[in-house]
Amino acid sequence: MKKIELLKQDMDKVIKEIFMIAIDILGGPKKLVEYKRLTWLASLMEAIFVIYLHNEENKSADEIAEFLGISSQTAKTILQSKPEYAQMKLENSESSEKTHIAGGIAKIAYKKWKEENEKGSMAV
């Protein structure tokens, strides 16, 4: 993993928060076990890092790929994922649209995290 300059120092804490939101979106831990989706967790964590680094740290797909030790194409695929298609796939398993499911879920979770944070800072 290449070291990159980060704007925010609490990245691990934020990633965990977004990850937990994503787990809830997927139906919670029990649903992950019931539907045999435990294999999604590694891909989901990777996608959350990609989305976070791109949106909060303004990193390019190439910088993210080098930092995480993944291919640039994987980072680009995650960044291009369609949350609405991922949601459709989860809800009825019949979406014919192609998208990076973990990337789409990561985007939905990131958006919820961002909204919660903005509400919290407005309340101060």
> What's the pLDDT at 122?
62
pTM given for the model: 0.83
Q: What are the 10-residue block averages of pLDDT along the chain, 124 residues in total?
A: 65 94 92 80 95 95 96 96 84 66 94 90 59
| Structural domain containing residue 118 | 11-122
**How many structural domains does the chain have?**
1
Residue 78 lies in a domain: yes
φ, ψ (nearest 5 deg) of residue 84: -65, -35
Please state, in angstroms and rounded to a whole number, the distance separating the CA atoms of residues 66 and 72: 8
> What's the pLDDT at 113?
96
Please state, in angstroms and rounded to a whole number, the distance separating the CA atoms of residues 10 and 78: 22
> What's the pLDDT at 5?
66
> What's the pLDDT at 93?
63
Residue 25 lies in a domain: yes
* 3-state per-residue secondary structure call for 62-121: HHHHHHHCCCHHHHHHHHCCCHHHHHHHHHHCCCCCCCCHHHHHHHHHHHHHHHHHHHHH
> What's the pLDDT at 1?
55
